[in-house]
Structures are given as structure tokens and as C-alpha cells.
Structure 1
Amino acid sequence: MPRKSPSVKPSDGQARTRLARRAVIDAAAALFVDHGYAATTVAEVSERADVPPATVYRLFQSKLGILKAWLDVAIGGDDAPVAVTERPQVANLLAEGDPVRLITGFADLAVAINGRSNNVYRILAGAAEADSDAAGLFRDIQRQRATGQRQLTRALARLGALRAGLAEPDAADIVYAIMSPETYRLLVVDRRWSPRRYRSWLDMTLRQQLLG
């Protein structure tokens, strides 16, 4: 997507739309956390966000659309319509020629994403157990995560850095498990590790498992 010139400012309509989207996402996030996804209605989100229901449906189509938008913002760190894998930070990482720095960069990225998306990911996982549409979104997110994380093992394979005897598909499975939101939640939320401790463990474990 081409970037606009810095001199071009968004119209009042665009600014209002962006503010409305942000208000709805913030309101839904609070309600989903407090009351659960299933128990929250679009009408409640609309009232809390002070955005008319018709506008909520125009912007998101459904309650699941709001959840997906929250997840996108949490993963990306902002509301820019650019996938994480297409952002300069990832491109710069993949151009890294040092396997250790490459792994460290991906560990930092995983810590940031898991930290931001922990709540919404948990809510989506719970919703997927009872809602077929949520289950479909959950599977899509898992596939996207696997595809994005596979870039790390492909880069290491291109550098000839994977430890002897470790096939690239097996390396991808290891990364998928170790960098998962589930592992983050087990250590940081359940076991109360600090994000700094989790990041150090993740970096060290990835090096041990992938590089030997």
C-alpha cells in the first residue's frame, strides 16, 4: 500500500471514522474482558463507546468483526492496515546475516506481540470453543502465526545455521510451540514471570533448540 505524503492530512470524516473505530474497539475490549465474549452484545458495545449501533455495524459488520479488529491492533501495535510480516522491522530482521541477532530480534518481536495480544487471544480461544465463526477466525490466526514464524527458520536455513540433524519443518514446529501465546501465558501470566525473564528464556531456548 503506497504511503501518503506527510503533507496530506486525513479529512475530518476519516478522522471521525478512525476515532469511532478506536472507541468501539476499546469499549468492546473492556466488556469482553469483564463479561466475556458471548455475554457481550453489540448494543452494549455501542452504548459504552457512544457510537450509534448502525455505525458499529457499518465499521465492523458483526461482534466477531470487532474482536478481529481488536486482535489486529494488538498484534500490529497500531491500527495501520499492514500485516506484521510486511512491516520494515521484520524485513530488516530477515536481512540480518548473524543467526544469533536474527533469533534475538524475533524473540523481541514475540515478547511484544504476545504481551499486547494476551487478553484478546485468550478471549478468541474461549469463543472458538462455542462459536463456529470464532473457531474459523482462530484457525486463521494460527495459520498466519505459523506462516510468519516460519520466516525465522527459513532465514536460518538459508544461512546454513540450523543445528546438524534438525530439518527445517521440525525447526518450524519448535518455534511455533516455544513462541506461542499459550507458552507466554503459562510463564508470564500463570507462573508470574516478568516479561524480561520470559524474553531471556525465549532467546536462550530458541538458540539452544535451533542453533545447538
Structure 2
Amino acid sequence: MSKDVKQKSLTAPDLRAKRVARTEAQLIEAASMLFCDQGYVATTLAQIAERAGVAARTVYVRFGTKAALFRRVIDQALVGDAEPVDVAHRPRIQDAMTAATLAERIEALADVSVGIAERAAPLFEVAAQSEGLEPELAEAAQAGRHSTTQLCRSFWDQAAADGHLAEGLNPEHLTVVTDVLLCADTIVHIRRTHGWSAALHRSLIVDTLTALTRRRA
């Protein structure tokens, strides 16, 4: 086998993988825009393919169903990129678990929440509208709620283990309050009802958690 042929055989899988990743990125971007502009029901896979500049069959090959594609759009919006690393293992959430002071940890946790709100809030509104229509999306939404609850529980359990909670503070109670502040349902509610920006939501998180954990004389 010649060197050129050998080199080609070694690089072909990498080139295919790059093409697949590029196509999926185009589809996810197109889907995100259309879902936000038109809603879940009105958006079709054919429209997404056309917006992405690919054949309609490509959408089915890559994602199978509209619900599966929408879940992928949400998942990517949550973390901000296509890397296979979930929110719980991102650097800023690690700061929330390990920073030297509770104040720094609360700030980091709020940064994570505001980042998610800035990227995904419009999609959360679409998800809220479509959850009752697609069992797959309802299941995914509920799994997301459980993940948020678990993240909040881990945050306060770690804070307690590291000696950051004043005597008498209940990590379970703090978990519930934090869960309410951070969850997707709250993001949708404060956007719809109060018209708040992600930055205002961040202030609410920091101010509330700081007040609840302030050491009393």
C-alpha cells in the first residue's frame, strides 16, 4: 500500500466524522431558530432541512424524529456547545462545589443558571407548550427537573460537608428553595409574567440564597 493511499485510509474516518458533526451543527442551529420563531407544532423537519441547506432525508437519518431533534437542541442550549459534557461537570459548576467561600459558590451557581437562561429560555417556553403533546418531551422535561433538583441537593450537601452552613440551616429546605429559583419552569414564568432578563433572575438567586444563609449574631 502506497503512503498516499495509507494516509487517505487513515484520515477518511476523521473527515467523515467532521462532515457529520458539521451537518448536525447546521441542523441544530436551523432547528433552534425555527422552533423559537414558529413553535414546536408549526415547525416541520422539512423546513429545518431547507433552512440548514441539506436533504430532508438527512434529518431523519441523523435524528429520526422531531422530538429527538428538539431534545438535542435543548441539550446543546443547556451547556452552550456540542461537547459531550453535561452541566454538572462543567468548570463553573465545579467552582460552585469547591470555591473557598459560600458567597463565591452561590455566585458561581447563579452564573450557571443565568448562562442557561440566556441560551435556553426561549426554548424552555417552546418545551412548555409542547410537553403535553409529545410523551418523549414530557419524559425529558421531567428528567430535567430531577437533574436540577439533584444538582441543588449536591450543592447544599457539599456546602454542609465543607462547613459553610450556619447551625440550624437545613440543607433539604435550602435545596427546595434553590430548585424553585433555578428550574426551567421558573425561568419561563418570570419571562412570561414579569418580563425579567436573565441578569435580573441572577440577582434574585444571589440575593435570596445569601439572605437565607446569612449567619445570625
- For the criterion TM > 0.5, the same-fold answer is yes
Deviation of the 1:164 alpha carbon: 4.0
More displaced 10-residue stretch of structure 1: 162-171 or 60-69: 162-171
Number of the residue aligned with 1:51: 54
Shift of residue 194, structure 1, vs aligned partner: 4.1
Deviation at 1:183, TM superposition (A): 3.0
User: Which of the residues 20, 23, 29 maps onto 2:23?
Assistant: 20
1:201 corresponds to which residue? Answer: 204
Output one character per residue of 1:6-48: Cα deviation in whole Å (capped at 9) or x when no partner: xx9x932222212211111121122212222122221221122
Q: For 1:120, which of 120, 123, 126 is the aligned residue?
A: 123
Q: 1:188 to 1:130 in 2, by over 3 A?
A: closer
Question: 1:87 maps to what in 2?
Answer: 90
> Is the contact between residue 42 and residue 53 of structure 1 (CA under 8 Å) also seen in structure 2?
yes
The alignment's C-alpha RMSD in Å is: 2.2
* Cross-structure match for 1:4: none
d(CA) in 2 for partners of 1:56 and 1:26?
A: 13
Q: Distance in 2 between matches of 1:199 and 1:135?
A: 27
158-167 or 103-112, which deviates more? 158-167
Q: Give the whole-Å Cα distance in 2 for the aligned partners of 1:178 and 1:184.
A: 8
Corresponding residue to 2:74 among 71, 74, 89: 71
TM-score by length of structure 2 reads 0.84
**Count of paired positions:** 204
Aligned-residue sequence identity (percent) comes to: 26
Identify, as 1 or 2, the structure richer in helix: 2
**What is residue 3 of structure 1 aligned with on the other side?**
none
Distance in 2 between residues matched to 1:208 and 1:18, nearest whole Å: 45
| Cα distance between partner residues in 1 of 2:207 and 2:214 | 10
Aligned letter for 1:135? A
How far the C-alpha of 1:77 sits from its partner, in A, is: 0.8
Is the CA contact (8 Å cut-off) linking 1:67 and 1:120 kept in structure 2? no
- The range that moved more, 190-199 or 173-182, is 190-199
* Contact 2:145–2:183 (CA under 8 A) maintained in structure 1: no
In the aligned structure 1, how far is the partner of 2:29 from the partner of 2:137?
Answer: 19
Q: In structure 2, what residue type is equivalent to 1:156?
A: A
Distance across 2 between alignment mates of 1:178 and 1:209: 13
5+ unaligned residues in a row in structure 1: which ranges? 1-7
Deviation at 1:92, TM superposition (A): 3.3
Alpha-carbon distance between aligned partners in 2 of 1:41 and 1:186, rounded to the nearest angstrom:
27
Instruction: Report the TM-score when normalising by structure 1.
Output: 0.86
Give 1:137-148 correspondences, 5 Å limit. 137-148=140-151
CA radius of gyration, larger in: 2
Letter of the 1:27 counterpart: A
